[in-house]
Amino acid sequence: MPKLLRAVRLDDSDDHLFKTHGAAREGEWVVSGGYAVCDFARAPKCDPRCYCESSFLALESRRRCSIAEVVEVSDADLEERTDQLAWFLVKGWGAPSWETARSLAEEEIRHTAEVCETLSPEVWITVKRTPQEIAGTVDEQYAVYDRLMIGAHRL
């Protein structure tokens, strides 16, 4: 069964960290978000700072989160998330066509599903991006954590 990511909110720290662009809501679908990173060669990375080097991107709100949970999904869910991202790329970012947006969305959803492929459902992950020598490329490193049972999260 395929897997994707949902935002995890342990406390209000993401609200403070992502105060300029907003923090993703608990349980909101997120993708790796590597397609929406700043130019790492600039300092500071972007203004206002978005912390894209260490965050996931929410599909619905386009807000960010620091921690995501791996969850099993159906093939229909994958298609729905792909369409959701493609529509945003068309409407929000002005993609030149639906076909172009859909292709990029498929690539991002596929990449996120591949990241989750070998992980158990309910584990949490974080991401750290670093620029590579080839201009415009970014390496993504993921850290995996056993799910903590804090607050609204079950033990």
- The tens digit of pLDDT for each residue in 61-113 reads 888 899 999 999 999 999 999 999 998 888 877 889 999 989 999 999 999 99
Residue 84 lies in a domain: no
* Total domains present in the chain: 1
Residue linked to tokens 């529509």: 87
Task: Report the pLDDT value the prediction gives residue 148, as an integer from 0 to 100.
Answer: 66
Task: Give the domain extent around 131.
Answer: 3-74+120-145
Residue 22 lies in a domain: yes
Residue 150 lies in a domain: no
Q: Which residues contact 75 (CB under 8 A, 6 or more apart)?
A: 2
